[in-house]
Chains A and B, each alone.
Chain A
Amino acid sequence: MGRKKQAGQLRGLSDRTSDIILVVICLFVMLLVAYPLYYVLVASVSNPYDVYAGKTFLLPSEFTLSGYKALFADNSIARGYINSIKYTVIGTVFSVLMVYLAAYPLSIKDLPGRKFLSIFFIITMYFGGGLIPTYLIVKETGLINNMWALFLPGGVGVGNMIIVRNFFEHSIPKEMVEAAEIDGASKWTTFVKIVVPLSRAIMAVMVVFSMVAYWNDWFTAMIYLPGQEQAPLPLVLRNILIKSSASASQASTISGGYAELNKMTEMIKFSSIIVAAAPMLVIYPFVQKYFEKGFMAGAVKG
């Protein structure tokens, strides 16, 4: 034993040393990932002049919530928030329903036409009509300025459907389904009474994926919902985060300094980032183990 251990030390670093190096690397990577978010959080509650002067690298200076107050003083933000919540809830329910409705039949091995139907869906993962033909069809089906333009065209998430189908195939005990059918339950009853309750873990994953996608989406809304009243939060933030920054930098080059108004805009930028990112950042750690398992179910069997 002793000699072998020595040989190991000769060949490379000892386990303890490499463990320490590993932990240091991981801490450094975590810092790189988390610090930008932390900095924004600190800056959002600090005096903007101190942020500008670089005094808020670690802790807030002159704690204030005026950025958040100013943010919500603007009606469009509150409206965007409500719109985003509405779209996220309806979109998530609809998407998960579509994924389930498609995934279950395709998980039944002897369903006639199963292979054809699978290919029918999978093709759309790799080929599509592209931006304009899709836009024109959405327009022809009367969905411009209609909330359902966000849900119907992309409603059938094929990647998610494959994950759920794999879960149905591998993780639902066949005996239970078969026993129910012997007892005279129809396919639909089996699905609702047995398969759905047994698939809560994968459903949690699908709910999170859909929620994140709808909460963060703005491109679909930008194309299909041109009306200001219907804009979801990220699209409203575009005016603050993307458009105003151009005008702010222009202003700084002209006057050579920031006016009070510009300072307020900067504060609003920080607080709007926190407000938009917070809901998903608070939710995901609770379902982390589910989506990690979800990937395991969908992982390639090497």
Chain B
Amino acid sequence: MSKSRAAAAVVKRGSGKSVSKRLRSYWQLYLMLLIPVVLTIVYKYIPMYGIQIAFRDYKASRGMWGSKWVGWKWFERFFSAPNCVRMIKNTVLLSLYSLLWSFPIPIILALLINQLRFNKFKRTVQTVLYAPHFISTMVVCGMLRIFLSPSGGLINLIAGTSIDFLSESSAFRTIYIASGIWQDAGWGIIVYMATLANIDASHYEAARIDGASMFQRIRFIDLPELVPQIVLMLIMSVGSLMNVGFEKVFLLQTDLNKATSDVISVYVYQQGIENAKYSYSTAVGLFNTMVNIVLLIAVNKITSKISDDVSFV
């Protein structure tokens, strides 16, 4: 022990060494970072720089950096596209409704499960609730298609009806949001449970002696403890508000439910990958990103006023 303390003292003195000496002793650390940094530059930063094709007329022969500049042409085309307003509206509404419904549920579940006093049962509940998170969106959408089938589908069997839910545009948002809650609400409790696990047990004992009911313990001990975490999660969710889950919409979209399922991310994929309109698709995607950034900054401003001790990143 005393040896290691002495070692710590030496290292402390060592950290005062000049930058060039430190650089020399740290070269292996920089070498470790080499591959991750190169990959990040090539596959993250160069594509960011490549967003400029949104303002060019991309031609494969001329490449990303040599195609002709066309200014705002693609943005103008998007804003005059017949479904533009519908797509923006669907994207915003689908995200907003998802957030409204899916955000509070993990918090409520965490508060309830945290009150369970039989540890074995508590663990079992958590294990079961995590399960859907480990299933591929592809499989979840396959299940949804089976359950929602008009003939022999589980929902129709239970309700005694034969509705083709995936052809009803009025049902699409409910399907999307409900299945999202089914898949990820359980997983969402983890961060809250982690915070609640840090609460000193003596608080509960004191509250119990004072005769506080379960509801009062949740309200006055647990909830205040969760507030910083809730604010942080809210900021992160709103920042990706326009990142409506591409995968599920793509897999559940049918010609008949497009009135509500037509969203920007699917359009970006169809225009870009399927129709190879690279510049146009990039412009639409960029518009989406800009909206996200504005939302992120706005929410960050608002919430930082509400709670000072939560900082971003």
Interface pair B214/A33, CB less than 8 Å apart: no
A191 within 8 A of B: yes
With an 8 Å Cβ cutoff, the count of chain A residues facing the other chain is: 115
Which residues of A in the span 42-62 have a Cβ within 8 Å of any Cβ on B?
A: 51-54, 57
Asked if A187 meets B26 with Cβ closer than 8 Å, knowing A128-B44, A152-B39, the reply is: yes
Q: Which of A11, A34, A122, A249 has the most CB of B within 10 A?
A: A249
> Hey, what's the 0/1 contact readout for A118-134 against B, CB within 8 Å counting as 1?
00111010111111111
Return A174 CB to nearest CB of chain B, in Å.
Answer: 7
Interface pair A22/B8, CB less than 8 Å apart: no
Asked if A295 meets B126 with Cβ closer than 8 Å, knowing A216-B136, A237-B138, A284-B134, the reply is: no
Interface pair A52/B145, CB less than 8 Å apart: no
> Hey, what's the 0/1 contact readout for B179-199 against A, CB within 8 Å counting as 1?
000100010001101110110
Asked if A277 meets B135 with Cβ closer than 8 Å, knowing A98-B36, A122-B313, A292-B190, the reply is: yes
Interface pair A155/B39, CB less than 8 Å apart: yes
Interface pair B113/A237, CB less than 8 Å apart: no
B11 within 8 A of A: yes
Within the assembled complex, what's the spacing in Å between the Cα atoms of A269 and B46? 41
B291 within 8 A of A: no
B81 within 8 A of A: no
Interface pair B142/A273, CB less than 8 Å apart: yes
Return B126 CB to nearest CB of chain A, in Å.
Answer: 7
Return A165 CB to nearest CB of chain B, in Å.
Answer: 12
Contact pick for B15, options A29, A33, A52, A110, CB 8 Å: A110
A199 within 8 A of B: no
A141 within 8 A of B: yes
Interface pair A178/B8, CB less than 8 Å apart: yes
Return B175 CB to nearest CB of chain A, in Å.
Answer: 13
Asked if A39 meets B64 with Cβ closer than 8 Å, knowing A105-B30, A127-B48, A131-B285, the reply is: no
Interface pair B142/A237, CB less than 8 Å apart: yes
Within the assembled complex, what's the spacing in Å between the Cα atoms of A4 and B184? 41
Interface pair B211/A277, CB less than 8 Å apart: no
Return B62 CB to nearest CB of chain A, in Å.
Answer: 12
Return A102 CB to nearest CB of chain B, in Å.
Answer: 4
Interface pair A300/B273, CB less than 8 Å apart: no
> Hey, what's the 0/1 contact readout for B40-77 against A, CB within 8 Å counting as 1?
10111111111101000000000010000000000000
Contacts of B19 in A (CB 8 A): 112
Contacts of A8 in B (CB 8 A): 210-213
A70 within 8 A of B: no
Asked if A11 meets B213 with Cβ closer than 8 Å, knowing A105-B30, A181-B11, the reply is: yes
Contacts of B198 in A (CB 8 A): 296, 299, 302
User: How many A-B contacts if CB must be within 8 Å?
Assistant: 326
Return A3 CB to nearest CB of chain B, in Å.
Answer: 9
Interface pair A128/B48, CB less than 8 Å apart: yes
Within the assembled complex, what's the spacing in Å between the Cα atoms of A65 and B171? 34
B79 within 8 A of A: no
A215 within 8 A of B: yes
Contact pick for A288, options B30, B127, B146, B147, CB 8 Å: B127
Interface pair B210/A4, CB less than 8 Å apart: yes
Within the assembled complex, what's the spacing in Å between the Cα atoms of A135 and B313? 28
Contacts of A153 in B (CB 8 A): 39, 43
Chain A interface, DSSP helix/strand/loop, else mixed: helix
Within the assembled complex, what's the spacing in Å between the Cα atoms of A15 and B115? 11
Within the assembled complex, what's the spacing in Å between the Cα atoms of A22 and B46? 52
Among listed B83-91, B93-101, B246-254, interface-contacting one: B246-254
B22 within 8 A of A: yes
Return A251 CB to nearest CB of chain B, in Å.
Answer: 10
Interface pair B182/A188, CB less than 8 Å apart: no
Contacts of B293 in A (CB 8 A): 127
Contacts of B5 in A (CB 8 A): 175
Closest residue of chain A to B124 (Cβ to Cβ) is A30
> Hey, what's the 0/1 contact readout for B139-173 against A, CB within 8 Å counting as 1?
10111011101111010010000001000000000
Asked if A237 meets B139 with Cβ closer than 8 Å, knowing A12-B214, A33-B186, A105-B32, the reply is: yes
Contacts of B11 in A (CB 8 A): 178, 181-182
Interface pair A269/B146, CB less than 8 Å apart: yes
Closest residue of chain B to A52 (Cβ to Cβ) is B152
Closest residue of chain A to B167 (Cβ to Cβ) is A249
Return A250 CB to nearest CB of chain B, in Å.
Answer: 11
Contact pick for A126, options B23, B131, B186, B239, CB 8 Å: B239
Contacts of A93 in B (CB 8 A): none
Within the assembled complex, what's the spacing in Å between the Cα atoms of A75 and B15? 61
Return A179 CB to nearest CB of chain B, in Å.
Answer: 5
Q: List 17 A-B contacts (CB under 8 A).
A: A23-B116, A26-B112, A36-B143, A98-B35, A128-B48, A130-B289, A131-B268, A131-B272, A178-B11, A242-B138, A245-B142, A248-B149, A272-B142, A280-B135, A281-B134, A281-B135, A300-B229
Beyond A57-B157, A152-B39, 12 additional pairs, beta carbon < 8 A: A34-B128, A34-B131, A112-B23, A131-B285, A137-B46, A140-B64, A188-B28, A217-B136, A223-B273, A242-B251, A252-B150, A295-B194
Across the A-B interface, give the 9 residue pairs with the lowest CB-CB distance, nearest first: A129-B47, A12-B213, A8-B211, A241-B142, A216-B136, A133-B50, A52-B152, A175-B4, A105-B29
